[in-house]
Structure 1
Amino acid sequence: MNYFVFGGSGFIGTHLINLLSKKYPNSVVYNLDIKENKQNGKAIYINCDVRKSIELDVPITSNDIVINLAAVHTTPGHPDHEYFETNILGAENVTAFAERHNVKKLLFTSSIAPYGASEEMKTEITLPMPNTPYGISKLVAEKIHMIWQIKKNTERQLTIVRPGVVFGKGENGNFTRLYWGIKKHRFFYPGRKDTIKASIYVKELVNFMLYRIEMDKTDVEIYNCTYEPAFTIEEISNAMMKATGMKRTIYKIPGGALKFAAGVIGALGGKSFGIHPDRVKKLMISTNISGKKLKDSGYKFQYSFDEALKDWYKDNDNLYLK
């Protein structure tokens, strides 16, 4: 059994490939991406653009596993059309590849973005109402993967994971920006401290992926991948300061004032501050995602939230989070 990881050079892919190489040393792991990541030293890299038809000159059997992580995801950060081109065409081409080779197990990494922005708690059966190009493209991609499974639903297993904010070494995203914002006294609560931000440690996420793939089931399952219950931005900030030995006072200021300041800083070219009006807006809206299905799935979490932050800090030699 070998593993074909599309989008394996990214943050999650790097952690997943390293875990696969460690856990299944006798399997071949292929990293299929438009760029190579030298940190995936134990994987065989193949240049692959999922926006195009996928043809590989390597042996493939029906017992091999396909994992689709390939995506354009940073928001804000890309023109609208790029989300659709990569995420929808990628889903079509990856599932067509799996179809041609009669692959029986496929895991797709989606997002919580298909739920849309609102304060209400969302479960896996909540009606998706995406309100961004990224969220729309991910919902369409989910449906494309489901079509692949239903063609031979008694033979195929499809797992769709919808992670919250994924944090850990190499993230360079929301949690990293939060850490450096706190450390440099540049982070303020934008109008409220109780914004809920569902999240998951990257090592926990990839461990759950393998847990699910190892199941001998032919079905479709969607899992919100987040700690249960999800934490508020104040709880996250306090836990982050505790794990890294920081002592800071974080003030709350009106959200409108912070968005205005972010717009001015951005216009003046202050990208190094990591402040963007859209990011401030996102901080003011909860991602209230239920992780109860994951919690009740039989999977045993390896890290509490506090332990995850400490482990991430340790991975950076107890110097910082990045």
Structure 2
Amino acid sequence: MLAIIGGSGFIGTRLSNQLKESNIPFKIIDIEKSSAFPDHWFYGDVTDPESLIKPLEDSDIIINLAAKHKDNVYPTSLYYDVNVEGARHICDAATKAGVKYIVFTSSVAVYGFVEKETGEDGQYKPFNDYGKSKLEAEYIYDAWQLNGSDRTLVTIRPTVVFGENNRGNVFNLFRQIASGRFLMIGNGKNQKSMAYVENIASFINFSTTLSSGRHVFNYVDKPDYNMDNLTDIICNAMNKKKSNIHIPYALGLLGGYFFDFLAKISGKEFPISSIRIKKFCARTQFKSDNINKTDFKPPVSLEKGIANTVLYEFMKK
């Protein structure tokens, strides 16, 4: 029995679809009831360790997808309450339930901004509380794996994940490009590693079949597109003309700081911020040497995943 903690969300729902199609038994443990699989749902809160004990009964493998991950979580202590203390609580609950196999979805944010294509041996330089809290959580899971016999830990560090029904930063970017009003900030040559939700869910499923011990994987769908390439793919999929207007990075960043100021004084959230401008213009290029050593093959090409997403989200029905 697979127990998916945080399984009511975006990736968890896609993973649950795959498990159901393959007749693999699973349960969802989440603070939010699963709208897609209500009959598989059990209440559980990673910040409340007692709430995890009963739902984990009869589980063989824990998959932890629960996280605070948005750019603007406030107070920032919530990153550590959920991501770090949550990891500690899950490990304690796993020990009590006799579960010896955990799959943890971390993030490439543990590497911070990278200057070259970075594999699993990359240096840790998280630049924000999300990345720092994910790295601290990894250390907790590592200790759990080392301190017990025959325990298996799979740590997966996905790059940015996108797909149908997601409303994160990539959705906002795709929406702007699809609208025909997109203005490129910078020269558009910065490469971006991405992961399509169907593929990352498939890899998580694959990761439940590994041998005992500790395994670490970056997850990224190749090839890496730069921002100009990405704009071309979206415009071609929607049969729209591409805008060739570029805004200098310094000017775009200044606009980001302006919206930071507005957000601070108004208490409102805006789609533009300095950190999002920095992320947009940064090179975020990763590789997975360790996945290349396995026989895993993503079921959907990255270009097809991008086209699937924009046609589903933005074409008039």
CA distance in structure 1 between the aligned counterparts of 2:98 and 2:282, rounded to whole angstroms: 42
Deviation readout 1:45-82 (Å, 9 max, x if unpaired): 22221012134435723x61101111100113333211
Secondary structure, counterpart of 1:221 in structure 2: strand
SS at 2:298's partner residue?
Answer: coil
Question: What do residues 86-112 of structure 1 show as CA deviations (whole Å, max 9, x unaligned)?
Answer: 100110011111111221211000001
Displaced runs of 4 or more, over 6 A: none
Match of 2:297 in 1: 300
DSSP-derived class of the 1:142 partner: helix
- For residue 19 of structure 1, what is the aligned residue in structure 2? 18
Letter in 1 for 2:307: K
Equivalent position of 1:214 in the other structure: 209
The whole-number CA distance in structure 2 between the counterparts of 1:315 and 1:258 is 29
- The answer (yes or no) to whether the contact 1:18–1:42 under 8 Å persists in 2 is no
- The 3-state SS of whatever aligns with 1:83 is helix
Partner of 1:245: 239
Question: Which residue of the partner structure matches residue 161 of structure 1?
Answer: 156
Using a 3 Å threshold, how does the CA distance of structure 1 residues 95 and 265 change in structure 2: closer, same or farther?
closer
The answer as to 2:227 corresponding to 1:228 is: no
Q: Name the CA distance, whole Å, in 2 between partners of 1:244 and 1:162.
A: 31
Please give the per-residue CA displacement for 1:202-253, whole angstroms capped at 9, x wherever unaligned.
00001011112123x1011111100234221222222122223322214221
* Aligned-partner SS, 1:230: strand
- 2:286 is the counterpart of 1:289: yes
Structure-2 residue corresponding to 1:9: 8
Give the direction of change, closer, same or farther, for the CA distance of 1:72–1:218 in structure 2 (3 Å limit). same
Matched-pair contact (CA < 8 Å) for 1:21–1:42: no
**Per the alignment, do residues 19 and 118 of structure 1 end up closer, same or farther by CA in structure 2, a change over 3 Å counting?**
same
CA offsets 1:273-318 (integer angstroms, 9 cap, x no match) = 7222221111121112113432342101211111112333455595
User: Partner of 2:251 in structure 1?
Assistant: 257
CA contact (8 A) 2:56 2:97 kept: no
The aligned residue for residue 195 of structure 1 is: 190
Query: How many angstroms apart in 2 are the aligned matches of 1:135 and 1:291?
Result: 18
Counterparts in 2 of 1:295 and 1:251: CA distance versus 1, 3 Å: farther
Give the one of 71, 77, 81 matched to 1:75.
71
How far residue 144 of structure 1 moved from its aligned partner, in angstroms, is 0.7
Aligned residue for 2:28, secondary structure, equals strand
**Structure 1 residue 18 displacement after superposition:** 1.9
Distance 1:303 1:58, change over 3 A: closer
Shift of the 95–317 alpha-carbon distance from structure 1 to 2, 3 Å rule, reads: same
Secondary structure of residue in 2 paired with 1:49: coil
Distance 1:240 1:310, change over 3 A: same
Q: Does 1:114 align with 2:113?
A: no
User: Under a length normalisation based on structure 2, what TM-score does the superposition of the two structures give?
Assistant: 0.90
- C-alpha distance in 2 between matches for 1:33 and 1:244: 36
d(CA) in 1 for partners of 2:73 and 2:108?
Answer: 18
Q: Which amino acid aligns with 2:17?
A: N
Please report how far the alpha carbon of residue 169 of structure 1 lies from its aligned counterpart in structure 2 after TM superposition.
Answer: 1.1
Deviations 1:131-187 (A, max 9, x none): 21111100010111111111235x122111111110101211122111111133443
State yes or no: 1:37 paired with 2:31.
Answer: no
Distance 1:107 1:172 in 2: 24
Corresponding residue of 1:91: 87
The more displaced of 76-85 and 288-297 is 288-297
Q: Do the aligned partners of 2:56 and 2:94 also contact (CA within 8 Å) in 1? A: no
Distance 2:293 2:230 in 1: 23
Rounded to whole Å, the distance in 2 between the matches of 1:283 and 1:255 is 10
Q: Matched residues in 2 for 1:250 and 1:126: separation?
A: 35
Task: Output the CA distance in 2 between the equivalents of 1:58 and 1:49.
Answer: 11
Partner in structure 2 of residue 101 of structure 1: 97
What is the distance in 2 between the residues matched to 1:273 and 1:236? Answer: 23
Tell me how far 1:260 sits from its aligned partner: 2.3
Q: TM-score, normalised by structure 1?
A: 0.89
User: AA paired with 1:17?
Assistant: S
Tell me which of 311, 314, 317 is aligned to 2:308. 311
Name the % identity: 27
Equivalent residue, structure 1, for 2:174: 179
Structure 1: stretches of 5+ with no match in the other structure: none
Distance 1:273-1:130 versus aligned 2 partners, 3 A rule: closer
- Report how many residues are paired: 313
Structure 1 or 2: more helix by fraction: 2
Partner of 2:165: 170
